[in-house]
Amino acid sequence: MTTRDDSKSRLDALRVEIERRNPAQPEFHQAVHEVLDTLAPVLAARPEYAEPGLIERLCEPERQVIFRVPWQDDQGRVHVNRGFRVEFNSALGPYKGGLRFHPSVNLGIVKFLGFEQIFKNALTGLGIGGGKGGSDFDPHGRSDAEVMRFCQSFMTELYRHIGEHTDVPAGDIGVGGREIGYLFGQYRRITNRWEAGVLTGKGAGWGGSAIRPEATGYGSVLFAAAMLRERGEDLEGQTAVVSGSGNVAIYTVEKLLALGANPLTCSDSSGYVVDDKGIDLELLKQVKEVERGRISEYAERRGASARFVPDGRVWEVPADIALPSATQNELDENDAATLVRNGVKAVAEGANMPTTPEAVHLFQRAGVAFGPGKAANAGGVAVSALEMAQNHARTAWSPARVEEELTHIMNDIHATCHETALRYGAPGDYVTGANIAGFERVADAMLAQGVI
């Protein structure tokens, strides 16, 4: 009989081997460790998972594609960026995951995101595998024509590896509706096919889904509300601190306001604003979505209730709920200690792995309800899968129907994580619940399909 100690020893050895085979990829190591740390009781209870090298296969991408992306700027200068697509696991369905255009993108970050995506997508129950991609191209400050030329060059290679039954990319940081449009246009041009299901996040008039831009932010708030309900509380009347001011953060603010909460902050790389009256959603959208300005401009226009803090940490602001919605590892142990000291009740990750492991452990020790990204921010990929379903049927659902489906999916993810944590003796531990529930769904499919 396999014991938990036996399983832990095996997982520790695998962790060492993964670090050896994937050097200089700290984000990927962090993501893998976070999952492996919770799997010992699963292997002890279900030893069949240990036999066919299943976890070893799960931690190794099925395919990794790296390619150059040459393009010309408006002055005729040629630039060369690097493109990535990591197709991690397709046991449950076609690879599904976003494309990120940001100078920080490298293979390790794409692998971390793709690995997380496996479990996130499994939790939705919608039959999609895990993958991720992107480039170290920075669209900030580039003209529409430059972004178009880059996207066309990027898709000229990527098109060989994707398809509605193979791999379905979407947007992520730096890839919004503009970029998806250019990417889809080039795919259509090369393939001579109107294959709407090959990309999600499309415009509403040409195959996109209602509330897709809002879905990740909406979903993280819905998950936070579900965690509070489990504790006998309601989101209405609670104060919230939100990081970021991109797509996820903006629609996190929107959903908080719709459910009666009071979002106090938002941020960008220059600093953060705190608004004592609560964030003015329309002004935030004007500054960030229309003008693509800095968050300091929000404070300048808002008046006396808002102030811009250039050098501080957004987590210094006391609030009931924290929703990190910017980027990986933005909330560290010191930030977590500050939030706990100020009485935070729940944390739901809108971004991918925004909380460091030390901070997660501190929240858990303090009894704070913590919703990991693979559960709390699954709303975006869930609506992407609903977009795929609409594309297959050549139809479009109403915003009300999509939002109803999203609410059902997020509540179901919460229930799955909560019940799985209970089943494995870790009540209230959403990290353990999410990891094990996602793992079991993928592992069962991998066992059924043989060693491939």
CA distance 331 to 293: 24
Show the domains of the chain with their CATH numbers: 4-59 (no CATH), 63-195 (3.40.50.10860), 215-376 (3.40.50.720)
CA distances from 307 to 238, 300, 304 (A): 21, 8, 7
- Confirm or deny that 247 is annotated as ligand binding: yes
Q: What is the mean pLDDT of residues 324-339?
A: 97
pLDDT over 70 at 357, yes or no: yes
Q: What is the pLDDT of residue 90?
A: 98
Q: What is the pLDDT of residues 41-76, one digit of tens each?
A: 999 999 999 889 999 999 999 999 999 999 999 999
222-253 tens-digit pLDDT:
999 999 999 999 999 999 999 999 999 999 99
pLDDT of residue 443: 98
Q: Inform me whether the pLDDT recorded for 373 exceeds 90.
A: yes
**Predicted local distance difference test score (pLDDT) of residue 107:** 98
Q: Is 132 a catalytic residue?
A: yes
- 384 known ligand binder: yes
User: Above 80 in pLDDT, residue 95?
Assistant: yes
% residues pLDDT > 70 (the chain): 100
CA dihedral 11, 84, 206, 256 (to 10 degrees): 50
d(CA 56, CA 66) in angstroms, rounded, equals 22
Residue 412 has pLDDT above 70, yes or no: yes
pLDDT at residue 6 is higher than 90: no
Candidate list 111, 132, 288, 374, residue with the active-site label: 132
Residue 331 CA to residue 364 CA, distance in Å, equals 14
120 is in an annotated binding site: yes
The pLDDT of residue 1: 56
